[in-house]
């Protein structure tokens, strides 16, 4: 099955149809119908499965769902969510690392600037963290933080699974009656009702309800990208208290084929106000949303003095997705022996299994006998200061690289879906599909390169701007 823009449009059309036919929560929870963006990772489930592969996935998904069902009996704690009834500001963020600071709080990569703000600190605050770690299966809470459980009560779990399996059967049998493309899509969508991610989205919904219902909350801030749980959160908060202001912080990059954040859906599923990281995303979001402000970002980078380096250095920036790491590893490994004068430094996303990537790289480097490829454990600012260019696909760090004066080189792998966060800039000079195009770009004359870099730098300086605490004060006091 071709994974392209046409597929994305067909999925959006199917979502509207299925929302009319069913309880909306089950359709929204299905990630194959709520595609965040036109990215290979978010469309990876759309393959031409044969019957055996399809059946194996049904068994695999069912076993994981049974595990979550049993977890509701053994791990779920009914009274773990103890919190204040009256809350000024509620943050919904993400637990990426289970390490706690001296103040008994978890490091927040998203709302760190909010928590530094004096006006914010002086109010009654609570933070709910969605758990992305292997710890705290039964949740965790103290005066300021609640880590969500991975499970919910058994009754809700079993009723939800029954509904999901009914939807699977309904759309599977519809799909086998006809042989059109949309029907083939239905076969995959039917399977995705059994995907544990769908079940987990509905578990999140229930756990949000258990905490939020009955609370008096003035304002709620959450990371906003278009995921299913964000839709559920908006709906729950507005149902609980219509006077609560729901604010989405759009902190990440927006690519050319950003999808779910722009899809037409009832107002109860979208925030009242959106904060964004800079003028570039503001212009994109303004086409869809009316109440939007630029708040800035912690990703704003100050240009530092470059470390003198006689060797050209290319900083390689994969996303935190294994398949994307493999794509860039393969490309760099294919070039390393052909262009030994360039040093390639991989800087992996914090969520990447770096030991696994090291083993892959070590094996290839021994086989092909090159020593100009390495992996960095240094700070991002240090890596930026010692590099002259960066190779990337969908990485947010590429913006910081461009802000620091590096030439951003986009690997246009297979050219089916553009996932470049800087897609607005002329691609004729920065996009490469093979070694020869990469070599030609590197050998570009200095005058031409300087002109292009000036244009790129101007654009990137408007992508993530410095966080504006005065603007945050105005929002908090309003």
So what's the pLDDT on residue 272? Answer: 97
Contact 372, 337 (CB under 8 A): no
**Residue pLDDT, tens place only, 300-356:** 877 665 665 657 999 999 998 999 999 999 999 999 889 999 999 999 988 788 888
Per-residue confidence band for 103, with pLDDT thresholds at 50, 70 and 90: low
Q: How confident is the model at residue 467 (pLDDT cuts 50, 70, 90)?
A: very high
Q: State the Cα torsion 326-332-336-338 to the nearest 10°.
A: 120
Residue 406 has a pLDDT of: 93
* pLDDT at 86 > cutoff 70: yes
Q: What is the pLDDT of residue 119?
A: 94
> What is the mean predicted confidence (pLDDT) over 256-268?
94
Euclidean distance between CA atoms 152 and 93, whole angstroms: 19
For the cut 60, the answer to whether the pLDDT of residue 439 exceeds it is: yes
Closest by CA to 218, choosing from 144, 123, 148, is: 123
- List, in order, residues 6 or more apart from 102 with CB less than 8 Å away: none
Q: Can you give the pLDDT at residue 304?
A: 62
Residue 89 pLDDT more than 60?
Answer: yes
| Segment among 100-109, 111-120, 247-256, 458-467 with least mean pLDDT | 100-109
Q: Which distant-in-sequence residues (6+ apart) come within 8 Å of 197 by Cβ?
A: 31
pLDDT digits (tens, 9 = 90+) for 189-210: 999 999 999 999 999 999 999 9
Is pLDDT at 104 greater than 60 in this prediction? no
Does the structure show a pLDDT above 70 at 43? yes
* pLDDT confidence of residue 362: 76
User: Which tokens is 340 given?
Assistant: 């030994």
Domains, the chain, in order of start with CATH, read: 5-75+154-200 (no CATH), 312-460 (3.40.50.2000)
Count of alpha carbons within 13 Å of 11, Cβ hemisphere only?
A: 30
Q: What is the mean pLDDT of residues 436-454?
A: 90
Burial 122-151 (b: 16+ CB within 10 A, else e): eeebbbbbbbeeeebbebbbeeebbbbbbb
Tell me: pLDDT of 63 over 70: yes
pLDDT tens track for 352-394: 888 888 888 877 766 667 789 999 989 999 999 999 999 999 9
Place 101 in a pLDDT band, splitting at 50, 70 and 90.
low
Output the pTM of the full model: 0.91
Confidence of residue 81 (pLDDT cuts 50, 70, 90): low
Provide the pLDDT for residue 247: 98
**Do residues 169 and 131 lie in contact, with contact meaning Cβ atoms separated by under 8 Å?**
no
Report the chain's mean pLDDT, rounded to a whole number: 90
From 300, 256, 298, 248, select the one nearest 276 (Cα to Cα): 248
Q: DSSP code of 404?
A: T
pLDDT band at 446 (very low <50, low <70, confident <90, very high): confident
Over pLDDT 70: what percentage of the chain? 92
- Rounded Cα distance between 458 and 470, Å, is 24
pLDDT at 427: 83
């Amino acid at each position: 099955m071709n994974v392209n823009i046409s597929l994305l449009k067909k999925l959006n059309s199917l979502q509207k149809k299925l929302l009319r036919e069913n309880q909306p929560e089950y359709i929204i929870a299905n990630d194959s119908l709520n595609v965040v963006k036109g990215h290979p990772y978010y469309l990876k489930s759309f393959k031409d499965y044969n019957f055996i592969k399809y059946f194996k996935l049904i068994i695999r998904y069912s076993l994981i769902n049974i595990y979550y069902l049993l977890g509701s009996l053994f791990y779920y704690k009914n009274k773990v969510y103890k919190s204040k009834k009256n809350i000024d500001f509620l943050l919904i963020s993400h637990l990426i690392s289970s390490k706690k600071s001296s103040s008994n709080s978890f490091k927040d990569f998203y709302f760190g600037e909010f928590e530094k703000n004096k006006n914010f600190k002086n109010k009654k605050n609570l933070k709910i963290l969605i758990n992305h770690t292997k710890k705290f299966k039964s949740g965790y809470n103290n005066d300021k933080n609640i880590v969500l459980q991975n499970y919910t009560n058994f009754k809700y779990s079993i009723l939800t699974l029954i509904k999901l399996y009914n939807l699977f059967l309904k759309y599977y049998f519809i799909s086998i009656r006809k042989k059109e493309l949309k029907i083939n899509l239905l076969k995959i969508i039917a399977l995705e009702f059994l995907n544990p991610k769908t079940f987990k989205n509905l578990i999140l919904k229930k756990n949000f309800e258990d905490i939020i219902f009955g609370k008096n909350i003035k304002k709620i801030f959450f990371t906003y990208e278009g995921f299913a749980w964000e839709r559920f959160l908006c709906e729950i908060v507005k149902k609980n208290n219509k006077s609560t202001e729901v604010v989405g912080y759009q902190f990440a990059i927006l690519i050319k084929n950003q999808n779910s954040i722009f899809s037409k859906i009832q107002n109860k599923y979208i925030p009242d106000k959106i904060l964004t990281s800079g003028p570039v995303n503001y212009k994109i979001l303004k086409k869809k949303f009316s109440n939007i402000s630029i708040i800035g970002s912690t990703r704003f980078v100050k240009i530092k003095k470059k470390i003198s380096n006689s060797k050209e250095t290319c900083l390689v920036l994969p996303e935190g997705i294994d398949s994307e790491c493999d794509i860039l590893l393969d490309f760099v490994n294919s070039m390393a022996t052909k262009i030994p004068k360039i040093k390639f430094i991989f800087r992996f996303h914090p969520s990447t299994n770096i030991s696994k990537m090291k083993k892959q790289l070590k094996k290839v480097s021994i086989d092909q006998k090159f020593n100009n490829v390495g992996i960095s454990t240094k700070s991002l600012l240090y890596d930026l200061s010692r590099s002259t260019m960066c190779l990337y696909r969908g990485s947010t760090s590429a913006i910081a690289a461009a802000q620091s004066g590096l030439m951003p080189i986009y690997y246009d792998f297979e050219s089916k879906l553009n996932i470049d966060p800087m897609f607005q800039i002329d691609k004729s000079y920065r996009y490469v599909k093979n070694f020869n195009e990469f070599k030609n770009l590197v050998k570009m004359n200095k005058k031409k390169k300087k002109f292009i870099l000036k244009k790129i730098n101007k654009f990137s300086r408007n992508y993530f701007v410095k966080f504006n605490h005065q603007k945050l004060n105005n929002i908090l006091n309003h």
